[in-house]
Amino acid sequence: MISAGDFRNGITIELDNNIYQIIEFQHVKPGKGAAFVRTKLKNIKSGGVVEKTFRPTEKCPQARIDRKDMQYLYSDGDLFYFMDNENYEQIALNAESIGDALKFVKENEMCKVCSHNGNVFAVEPPLFVELEITETEPGFKGDTATGATKPATVETGANVSVPLFVEQGDVIKIDTRTGEYLSRV
């Protein structure tokens, strides 16, 4: 159990049969009345954000989130298969629980599979990936206004905006959190 006075960003709590992560918190001491804690909570399973206030002495059970490194093997229809490299156990997750987390992940790459009480609710891709450009239009000399970009398709099928000098066949580094081009490799 964790009291509202001890809330910090990133802590996960169980509330109303859901699991929430604290995005923001603020201790408020009004001139009149009792102090309270104002929070922004993100529902881990649905992704929705809720604002809620607590008394500083209120207690909530702290949720334990297990993050396990697993290797993404392949997809078959709307099922995605992952393998635990320690005991070689495989699990299949449906597209609904994964969302678009794997749009920058190639087969055989490592991901973090997040679960609560054995129920998988999310997959976290690596922070940075290196992918080859499979399709892009050529950039033209003199067509370089500051920060000009063009669309490109990478080997996983995802679309990224890249600078004009990047060509088809180049390997680029991408930030999976934002989907932004970082550099050529």
Q: How many CB atoms lie within 10 A of CB 77?
A: 7
Per residue in 27-41, pLDDT (tens digit) is 989 888 889 999 999
Per residue in 58-82, pLDDT (tens digit) is 898 988 888 889 999 988 888 889 9
Distance CA 173, CA 150 (A): 16
SS3 track for 73-117:
EEEECCEEEEECCCCCCEEEEEHHHHCCCCCCCCCCCEEEEEEEC
DSSP 3-state assignment of 4? helix
Q: Does position 135 have pLDDT exceeding 80, yes or no?
A: yes
Q: How many CB atoms lie within 10 A of CB 40?
A: 16
Band (pLDDT 50/70/90 cuts) for residue 42 is confident
Q: What is the pLDDT of residue 51?
A: 93
Q: What is the pLDDT of residue 146?
A: 65
pTM to 2 decimals?
0.69
Q: What is the pLDDT of residue 145?
A: 59
Per residue in 84-113, pLDDT (tens digit) is 888 988 888 888 777 777 888 888 889 988
- Which domains does the chain show, CATH number per domain? 2-60 (2.30.30.30), 66-124 (2.40.50.140), 128-184 (2.40.50.140)
Distance CA 107, CA 114 (A): 19
Q: What is the pLDDT of residue 33?
A: 87
